[in-house]
Amino acid sequence: MFARSAFRAAQPLKSQARRYATESAPKGGSNALLYAAGAAAIGGAGYWYFGGSSAAPKIEAASPPKVAFAGGDQGFISLKLSEVENVNHNTKRFRFELPEGDMVSGLHIASAILTKYKGPNDEKATLRPYTPISDESDKGFIDLLVKKYPDGPMSTHLHNMEPGQRLDMKGPLPKYKWEENKHDHIALIAGGTGITPMYQLARAIFNNPNDKTKVTLVFGNVTEQDILLKKEFEHLENTYPQRFRAFYVLDKPPQSWPGPGGFITKDLLKTVLPEPKEENVKLFVCGPPGLMKAISGNKVSPKDQGELTGILKELGYKEDQVYKF
Ligand SMILES: Cc1cc2nc3c(=O)[nH]c(=O)nc-3n(C[C@H](O)[C@H](O)[C@H](O)COP(=O)(O)OP(=O)(O)OC[C@H]3O[C@@H](n4cnc5c(N)ncnc54)[C@H](O)[C@@H]3O)c2cc1C
């Protein structure tokens, strides 16, 4: 059971926002102003991965575990859907069984997998990447968190699937290779399901006691119900108040919402992000094309990050300080 009871009194955003880059945050986290409204909704829920009283490392056997996604010329493997959970009005969590119960996925942080589906009337197969939110050390399954788009072939197919059915997947699709303490401070700027690679990164960092990276999350959504993985991130805020902070922005906030409304703005990012001159900072951006365009410019292709434009460029960040998922 998780209850967010240890907030300190709210302070103006600007006076507190940059502080933890150099100072310890007071006990209990420092995002009360932005989060108090969401606290009540979270109290009764359990959580998947950050749950429990500490983020103790998982101990692996001496011999490396078998991996499901081997890459190379392995091609697609067919995985059975074992469980579906409704997360909100348009998003479900899907658990797929790996071919053998003692296999791990074989994905390293941060990577995705590629799904393939060809419907009976389709001329060609639909291929779409997804970022599993299960732990890399979980054995026997992977979890996908997928939002449904009304006319989207793959997300609609997934949302129509029943346990027992199968889906072809291939991987890993490596994205940004994380190593412990690779950066002193990272910022995760996400919109909607763009949160999944950010969650992978945050989970890897905070599940590793040797990793001391500071993490700032800025997460934009339309409504409060759209905020995915919120209880997992709230748990991080409470457990690591000196190293993890999150700022939620809602396009359509409820009246009681204490945080920012509208889109993620330059002013907000200037206030909460580590400054460009800070040593060894990295900003990760992932979200719908409109968000990418406004914040960092869109990625050209999986191998071409494209030019850095938008708010991050205006704020003085350099191309090598930004990674677009
Ligand atoms: C590396 C990578 C990892 C991804 N991981 C996830 C994940 O973990 N969970 C998840 O739900 N999705 C994820 N996506 C998005 C996913 O691959 C599909 O694009 C999405 O599910 C829509 O596919 P579709 O075939 O249903 O619809 P499409 O035919 O691809 O799109 C349907 C409509 O939705 C719009 N659209 C598509 N994607 C988005 C988006 N992200 N934001 C806003 N509008 C969009 C399209 O412009 C179109 O109008 C990821 C994408 C990439 C590149």
Question: Which pLDDT tens digit goes with each residue over 168-183?
Answer: 999 999 999 999 999 9
Given this model, what pLDDT does residue 20 score? 45
If you take atom 29 of ligand 1, which residue's CA is the nearest one? 152
Overall average pLDDT of the 190-205 stretch: 96
Q: What is the pLDDT of residues 38-68, one digit of tens each?
A: 333 323 233 333 433 445 566 655 688 999 9
Give the position, in ligand 1's atom list, of the atom nearest the Cα of 128.
17
CATH of the domain at 306: 3.40.50.80
**64 in a domain, yes or no?**
no
Handedness of CA 51, 109, 165, 226 (dihedral sign): positive
Amino acid identity, position 110: A
Overall average pLDDT of the 277-303 stretch: 95
**72 in a domain, yes or no?**
no
Residues 209 and 313 in one domain: yes
Ligand 1 is surrounded, with C-beta below 6 A, by 112, 126, 128-131, 145-147, 149, 151-156, 192-193, 196, 288, 325
Which are the contacts of 290, defined by CB distance < 8 A and separation ≥ 6? none
Q: Which of 143, 174, 205 is a domain's end point?
A: 174
Lowest mean pLDDT among 49-58, 107-116, 185-194: 49-58
Residues 83 and 108 in one domain: yes
Overall average pLDDT of the 218-241 stretch: 96
Q: What is the pLDDT of residues 115-138, one digit of tens each?
A: 999 999 999 999 999 999 999 999
Residue 7 has pLDDT above 50, yes or no: no
Amino acid identity, position 125: A
Residue 238 has pLDDT above 90, yes or no: yes
**68 in a domain, yes or no?**
no
Domain count, the chain: 2
**154 in a domain, yes or no?**
yes
pLDDT bin (cut points 50, 70, 90) of residue 279 is confident
**35 in a domain, yes or no?**
yes
Domain residues for the domain of 125 are 77-174
**62 in a domain, yes or no?**
no
Given this model, what pLDDT does residue 260 score? 84
Given this model, what pLDDT does residue 26 score? 38
Residues 200 and 318 in one domain: yes
Q: Which of 118, 142, 174 is a domain's end point?
A: 174
Q: Which of 131, 155, 174 is a domain's end point?
A: 174
Given this model, what pLDDT does residue 40 score? 31
Residues 180 and 42 in one domain: yes
Q: What spacing in Å lies between the alpha carbon of 51 and ligand 1's midpoint?
A: 28
Overall average pLDDT of the 89-97 stretch: 97
Given this model, what pLDDT does residue 61 score? 57
Overall average pLDDT of the 300-312 stretch: 96
If you take atom 31 of ligand 1, which residue's CA is the nearest one? 152
Residue 22 has pLDDT above 90, yes or no: no
Give the position, in ligand 1's atom list, of the atom nearest the Cα of 146.
11
Amino acid identity, position 206: F
Residues 259 and 319 in one domain: yes
Q: What is the DSSP string of 162-218?
A: -TT-EEEEEEEEE-S---TTSSSEEEEEEEGGGHHHHHHHHHHHHT-TT---EEEEE
Given this model, what pLDDT does residue 57 score? 61
Beta bridge partners of 96: 81, 142
Lowest mean pLDDT among 55-59, 83-87, 217-221, 289-293: 55-59
Given this model, what pLDDT does residue 11 score? 34
Residue 95 has pLDDT above 80, yes or no: yes
**141 in a domain, yes or no?**
yes
The residue whose CB lies within 8 Å of the most ligand 1 atoms, and thus the one to mutate among 93, 113, 154, 155, is: 155
Residues 150 and 183 in one domain: no
Residues 315 and 186 in one domain: yes
pLDDT bin (cut points 50, 70, 90) of residue 3 is very low
Residues 18 and 116 in one domain: no
Residues 233 and 283 in one domain: yes
Overall average pLDDT of the 258-272 stretch: 93
Output the average pLDDT for the chain.
85
Query: Residue 26 — left, alpha, or beta (φ > 0 → left; ψ -120 to 50 → alpha)?
Result: beta
Given this model, what pLDDT does residue 43 score? 30
Three-state DSSP class for 29? coil
Residues 319 and 181 in one domain: yes
If you take atom 30 of ligand 1, which residue's CA is the nearest one? 152
Which ranges constitute the DSSP H helices of 89-163?
153-160
If you take atom 41 of ligand 1, which residue's CA is the nearest one? 288
Residues 304 and 187 in one domain: yes
The residue whose CB lies within 8 Å of the most ligand 1 atoms, and thus the one to mutate among 93, 116, 128, is: 128
Bridge-based pairing of strands 214-221 and 244-250 is parallel
Binding-site residue positions for FAD: 128-130, 145, 147, 154-155, 196
CATH of the domain at 87: 2.40.30.10
pLDDT bin (cut points 50, 70, 90) of residue 261 is confident
Q: What percent of the chain has pLDDT over 90?
A: 78
Residues 141 and 221 in one domain: no
**212 in a domain, yes or no?**
yes
Q: What spacing in Å lies between the alpha carbon of 87 and ligand 1's midpoint?
A: 17
